[in-house]
Every structure is written in structure tokens, then in C-alpha cells.
Structure 1
Amino acid sequence: MNKTEAHGFKDWASVISGAIFALLVSAMATTTVSAALPGEDSDVWSLRKESGDIHIYTMRQSDSSFQAFKAEALIDAPIESIMAVMQNPASCMEWLLNCTESYAVGKGNFHERYVYSVNDLPWPVTDRDYVLSVHTQGSKASGEIVMQMSAVPEMRAEVSNRVRVDLSNTRYRLIPENGKTRMIWLQHTDPKGALPGWLVNTLLVDIPVSSLEELERVASKERYQGFSLIYDESGQLVDVRQTSGN
């Protein structure tokens, strides 16, 4: 491969990585443009890549030219630190590829909130932006936390120099495991525009690997230490709060 071809391939990889991401956390919201994510345990998932403790699977979607992916990873960070990252809307810029802008919008609480984020894509591809409904649920009995999000594009006016993504569903299931966190990440996103499905699907497996490796690094930062999960009397997760000074 000559330098020109290599450079062109790298630019396309950057385009795809930015376009398919929809930022952090949730429990699935239903919208008129969203389709349900495939089942986590479906036997249709196809293993595409293994990288250390990270396994990536993909699945064709009958109503889309873009595949869904499932990433399973054992992250060397406690679930409290992972949740501290996830609950910070601006953390998208720390660990998700090409996320250059992210903040909370509208009214919300711990269980249901909204986030606006932007993926910066190289010229001449137009940047993508998202408005996401984020839902969080957790049980003290099981120790698991489920975070799901889906696109709610109508919640904020579109920006003239960005393409609004109106179909994106993501689910994170977080499971504490001996001081580490097992994360199962399902996602299906249609980035809209002229990005060909075959190219997105070819590069899809590398995107969650890079992000999960970065999530592990970010979760180890000092500002995400000393957090605790707060449960109500019925054992339902109600907050993630810093309880020791850092």
C-alpha cells in the first residue's frame, strides 16, 4: 500500500469511528425512529475480533445496511469508577473516539437524563451530532447496572453545519467482578449521509476495542476515585457519589 492509499484508508477509519458513536449510558427509550437492539445472548452474533480481555461480535440488521455490534470486556477498574465516568456527560470527550463536544441538556435526574454530543469528522465529511435519552438502573442484590440510551433528535433544534443522527441505540451492562468490571456493550447506529454500509461494517470491530481500552485508562484517573454507589431502601440504585476526598 502506498502512502496516498494508506492516508486515505486512515481518514475513512476516522470518519467511521466518529459517525457510529452515540455517547454514554442508559435503559432503552422508545422513539418513533428507533429499532430494538438484538438480544445479548442471541446465537446469531458472529465473533469478529479478540484483543486481550475484549471480544467483539457483529450481527446483520434486517432493516439496516449497518450492522449492530456487541463488545464484551473485563475492565481493570471498579464499577464505582466506571459509573463515575459514565455519569459525567463531558467524559465522552475523554474516551469515545472523535467526541469533541458533550454536555447535559434539558431536565433530568439520575435515572433519566439527556445528553447532547458531537463527533468531529475530517473534511469533507460533515460532523454528526446526537441528542440522547439516557436511562440508568441498578440493583444492589445483583450488583449489576444497566445503562441504555437512544436518539431523541427532536428534543433540540438541528445545527446547520452538522448532520443530526436520528437512529442510535446503545446498552451497557456493567457487572462487578473481584474489583474489576465486566462490561457488555450493544450498539446499533445509522450515521446517515453517504457513508457506505459495507465500509462501516468492515471497520466496525476496531472502534469498541479502542474505546474500551481508553475507558479503562480514564477510569483510573484520580478524579474518578473514591466514588460509591448509593441505593434506596428497596435496593435500587439512586446515585453515584464521591464519598472520599481526592
Structure 2
Amino acid sequence: MQNLKARGVARPASALAMLLMAAVVSTIAAGAAQAGLPDENAEGWSLRKETDNIRVFTIDQPDSSFQAFKAEAILDVPIENLMAVMINPQSCVEWVHNCSESYAFGDGNFHDRYAYSVNDMPWPVTDRDYVLRIRTHGEKSDGEVVMNLNAIPDRREEEDGHIRVDKSDTLYRFIPEGDQTHMIWVQHTEPNGSIPGWLVNTLLVDIPIRSMEQLERVARWERYQNHELVYDSSGKLKNVVPKPQSGDD
């Protein structure tokens, strides 16, 4: 990863606490544009943790004991690789910390689709699951791609042995910078169950760090190489596809 100090994070107290926190933060999904999220440029963000390449901020949310976070990183991979990962409905298990199951369901397309995912929790804590809507859009003019992620818990029946997360809003913003990508991740989740707010807020910053570091590694895998962003005649992003191989028609 590229150093991010010019723009602007330590490890959790225990492995069990990290696993508990994973249910709150891990997600791959989407939904109505940034519903329930603080503005990424709002005043009040507090820098909580910083590594050479990632900065994580938190902010209090009205009527909630759980803070929102914002994570920023310069990932040393091109945006095409990252979008190839993000459109794979199973990729949650590859890069999101403690995501143990993920797949697409229902009708959907590149711009508006649905996913189900599970976070594996240590006994005796009950696994958390998410039913999520993913909306993706981008403009050729600046090359930026935005994904809005929201929980829609009633879209599927509840699963035995899981606690359904009923409120989670996430924004992924990918900004191309040559062969690198500036990623911004904003999220706020209200988990069901008895996970205390103080624990969530104490450990909130470590999950996006671990996940973003893993995302950079995954985006270098062979299966995610040689993709391209496809735009329509008005310059709107419409898909991410493998590049034609030489000799293809």
C-alpha cells in the first residue's frame, strides 16, 4: 500500500473482541443513497487510528450509542482490479474480516442488486447475518465509482441460528489515481443483540484496517486481473468486464 500520512491506526484488545466487533462492521451490500450516514466531509470526524497507509476516523451519531467510521487508504492496485472484486457476490469472504458466507440472490443487475452475507462468531456468540442491497454508479468524466450499501432485513426470511442485522448503511468510494486507487469507506451499523456500544466504539477502527489491507492483496489475485470499466454513450458506468484476449472476436 501507498503511504497515506500526507492525507491522514494499533491492534484490538483481544481476539474475541475482534470477532464480536466483526458482526457490526463487516458487510458487502448496498442501497438507498447514503441513507443514515454522516457526510464524509462533515466537521466532527475524529482521527482514531493511523497506519502508514490507512486513516480511520469516527463520529457520534444522533440517537445511537454506536459511532460511524470513515476509513481512507491509497490502495496500490488499479480501480479496475478493485471493481472486479466488488462485483463478485462471493468476494466478501475473501476480503471482509470474518465474513464466512456471501452470495447474490433475487433479481438484480450491475447497478442495483442484492446480497446475503454471514459473519462467523465465536461460541457462544450468535452469528450475525445481513440482507443487503447494492447500488453502484460511476462517471467516465472523472473515473470515480461509488457503491451505496444498506440493510434491507425483511427482503428474506430470517435464518435459524443467526441474528439479523436490521440497520447498516455503508458507502464505498473508489477514486482512480493512475495505477493506484484512493478508497473511502463510511459506515454506520446498529447491530441487534447484546453487543455493547462501548465495545463497538473501542474496537471499531481495526476491522476496516484489516479488511482494506486484505482487499489490496485480493485485488492482485490472477482472477481479478485484466478487467475494464464499460461506459454507455452518455458516460455512465454500466459494467465491469474482463478485457478481450488477443485473438478474440
TM-score of the pair, normalised by structure 2: 0.91
What is the distance in 2 between the residues matched to 1:137 and 1:175? 12
Instruction: Indicate yes or no: 2:28 matched with 1:23.
Output: yes
Q: Distance in 2 between matches of 1:163 and 1:245?
A: 45
Residue number in structure 1 paired with 2:164: 164
Secondary structure (helix, strand or coil) at the match of 2:210 reads helix
List runs of 5+ in structure 1 lacking aligned partners: 1-7
Summarize deviations over 1:193-238 as a string: whole Å, max 9, x none.
1100001100001111110000000000000001000000000000
2:108 paired residue number: 108
Q: Which stretch of structure 1 is more off in the superposition, 232-241 or 34-43?
A: 34-43
Structure 1 outlier segments of 4+, above 3 Å? none
Mapping of 1:52-71 within 5 angstroms?
A: 52-71=52-71
Q: Secondary structure of the equivalent of 1:89?
A: coil
Partners of 1:13 and 1:212 lie apart in 2 by 16
| Secondary structure in structure 1 of the residue aligned to 2:27 | coil
Aligned residues: 234
Quick check: 77-86 or 45-54, which moved more? 45-54
Q: Distance in 1 between matches of 2:214 and 2:38?
A: 26
Distance 1:22 1:238 in 2: 23
**Superposed displacement of residue 19, structure 1:** 3.2
Do the aligned partners of 1:128 and 1:164 also contact (CA within 8 Å) in 2? yes
Match runs of 1:1-246 below 5 Å: 9-24=14-29, 26=30, 28-29=31-32, 36-245=36-245
Alpha-carbon distance in 1 for matches of 2:89, 2:46: 32
CA distance in 1, matches of 2:145, 2:81: 13
Residue of structure 1 equivalent to 2:10: none
TM-score by length of 1: 0.92
Aligned identity (percent) is: 55
Kept after mapping to 2: 8 A contact 1:226/1:245: no
* Distance in structure 2 (CA, Å) of the matches to 1:57 and 1:244: 40
Shift of 1:124: 0.7
More helix by share: 1
Alpha-carbon distance in 2 for matches of 1:121, 1:48: 25
Give me the whole-angstrom Cα distance separating, in 2, the residues matched to 1:136 and 1:35.
14
Take 2:168 and 2:239, find their aligned partners in 1: how far apart are those partners?
25
Give secondary structure in 2 for the equivalent of 1:109: coil
* Distance of 2:123 and 2:28 partners within structure 1: 22
Name the SS of the counterpart of 2:218 in structure 1.
helix
For residues 85 and 226 of structure 1, what CA distance do their matches in structure 2 show?
12
* Deviation by residue 1:158-199 (Cα, 9 ceiling, x = unmatched): 012100101000001100002100001000011211100001
Deviates more, 1:233-242 or 1:184-193: 184-193
Question: 1:3 corresponds to which residue?
Answer: none
1:5 counterpart residue number: none
Aligned residues of 1:70 and 1:185 also touching (Cα < 8 A): yes
Q: Which amino acid aligns with 2:58?
A: T
Q: Is the 8 A contact 2:27 2:92 kept in 1?
A: no
State the one-letter code of the partner of 1:16.
M
Helix, strand or coil at the partner of 2:125:
coil
List runs of 5+ in structure 2 lacking aligned partners. 1-12
- Residue 55 of structure 1 contacts residue 73 of structure 1 at CA under 8 Å; is this kept in 2? yes
